[in-house]
Amino acid sequence: MTAVNVKLRLRGYDLASVQVDLHESWRIGPVEIPTRLVLAPMAGVSVQAFRRQGRRFGAGLVCSEMVSCAGLSHGNERTLGYLRIAADEHPLAVQIFGSEPGVMAEAARMVEEAGADLVDVNFGCPVRKVTKTGAGATLLEEPDRACAIVEAVADAVSVPVSVKMRRGLDNGSRTCLEIGPKLVEAGAASLTLHPRSARQMYTGEADHRLTAELVELVEVPVVASGDIVSQAKAQTVLATTGAEAVMVGRAAQGNPWALSEIMGDEDEPSREEVAAELILFIRETVRELGEHRATGFLKKFYGWYLGRGRFPRPFKQELVQLETPEQVEQRLFAAAPGARFVLERLEDELPQGDEVLLDLPISAARAAEETAPARRCIDKGTVHLLPASIISAKFIRVCDASAPEVEQA
Ligand SMILES: Cc1cc2nc3c(=O)[nH]c(=O)nc-3n(C[C@H](O)[C@H](O)[C@H](O)COP(=O)(O)O)c2cc1C
């Protein structure tokens, strides 16, 4: 069902009877997205493990967290790490933020080169560290610059460009409705609206009446973001706005089952399933970030996974105090021994080719190598962009064994 069909149905039918099938595919330009559920970009959350898990639980599109275009252009090691894309993540959007059209265009080229299916531009971040540089939500008040950014990015890449924005800077703002159509004219192939003001941060409610107005104003797909926490809410927002898809953020933190519930697919997980998913998440995150970074990063996830009455509260406190992810894993197995069998099944189902990438933590790279030319290594459909000198002899050997393509970017 296209947005136009939804609009027509809204005019002719009782809203209560409109059921949008979330399993239907839709498109952003040439990119086919298999379901109407999108996993939100979330800084400090949207690691590869989160995105791959999101895909397994029903998200048709997953997004990287926002990536600094300045960081990419300086070859910052940690920023480059955000461009790691696994074979089972597609379709995937990589989101970039910045304020200079030329630098954003260059970053977009790197994102495309890394294998992203979409480049998403952030005009929504309300955090001062970002807005004070003229990026994120502040660009909503600078429509000429915002359009220049979208135009430069769209000209630089052949993949579609999408924009994610808030309603405006101040409470009650309707800026998104003025700037939305201009961004489409500048080249945006899709708009995602989180209809809170930047000032609101995450307080109050997302006002999806604005999403409905935006849908009426533009011909490109609109994605509704904000407070989608259940199947009922997703259905209401889709039916009352005519948005093409819903985006889920906080509800999916440590709770991929929220995604399957929204899709109408599954029931509450058992303790064993929760423990197995968390252990898999821990293992993948340690491989992606390296043990040192992962240890602190993962702590917030323990509470998210184990809450909702799934495990007693003191158990969560105990996990947070353990020193290594390995210890957390052992403690989880002790609390839910059946998790071993669930985990074995989960790991068997994961594509094998990704192991090559995941075995190379970002921390293996050295900052001194930032200026070295980037190389692109494709292994079994997985694209990896890193400064040439980070790609160790071992890594190249592994790639060679499976007939890779290693080329200068
Ligand atoms: C911890 C956190 C980090 C976020 N980081 C980003 C980000 O990097 N880029 C972005 O466009 N939105 C970001 N957002 C906003 C979400 O993508 C989403 O629009 C917002 O949380 C509303 O959706 P929800 O109610 O489903 O959480 C972030 C939100 C949270 C809670």
Residue 73 counted as domain residue: yes
> What is the reported pLDDT for 8?
45
Distances (CA, A) of 210 to 124, 141, 205, 217: 15, 17, 12, 11
> What is the reported pLDDT for 1?
45
**C-beta of 289 in contact with ligand 1 (< 6 A):** no
Same domain, 190 and 329: no
> What is the reported pLDDT for 361?
41
Distance 267 CA to ligand 1 centre (A): 25
Pocket test for ligand 1, best of 42, 63, 82, 229 (most atoms within 8 A of CB): 42
> What is the reported pLDDT for 15?
55
Measured between alpha carbons, how far is 343 from 331 in angstroms, rounded to an integer?
Answer: 15
> Residue 209 belongs to a domain with what CATH number?
3.20.20.70
**Low-confidence residues of the chain, pLDDT below 50?**
1-2, 4-5, 8, 11-13, 354-356, 358-409
Residue 176 annotated in active site: no
> 188 lies in which domain range?
3-262
Residue 379 counted as domain residue: no
**Do residues 361 and 289 lie in contact, with contact meaning Cβ atoms separated by under 8 Å?**
yes
Distance 344 CA to ligand 1 centre (A): 32
**C-beta of 122 in contact with ligand 1 (< 6 A):** yes
**C-beta of 248 in contact with ligand 1 (< 6 A):** yes
> What is the reported pLDDT for 16?
53
Listing DSSP states for 361-380 in one string gives -GGGS-GGGTTSPEEEEEET
Measured between alpha carbons, how far is 282 from 290 in angstroms, rounded to an integer?
Answer: 11
Listing DSSP states for 333-355 in one string gives HHH-TTHHHHHHHHHHHS-GGGH
**C-beta of 169 in contact with ligand 1 (< 6 A):** no
Same domain, 100 and 154: yes
Alpha helices in 114-256 (DSSP H): 128-131, 143-156, 175-186, 208-217, 231-241
Domain end: 354, 374, 391, which one? 354
User: How many CB atoms within 10 Å of residue 210?
Assistant: 24
Same domain, 287 and 309: yes
CA 141 to chain centre: 25
Same domain, 141 and 87: yes
Domain end: 319, 338, 354, which one? 354
Number of domains in the chain: 2
Summarize pLDDT for 147-185 with one digit per residue, the tens: 999 999 999 999 999 999 999 999 999 999 999 999 999
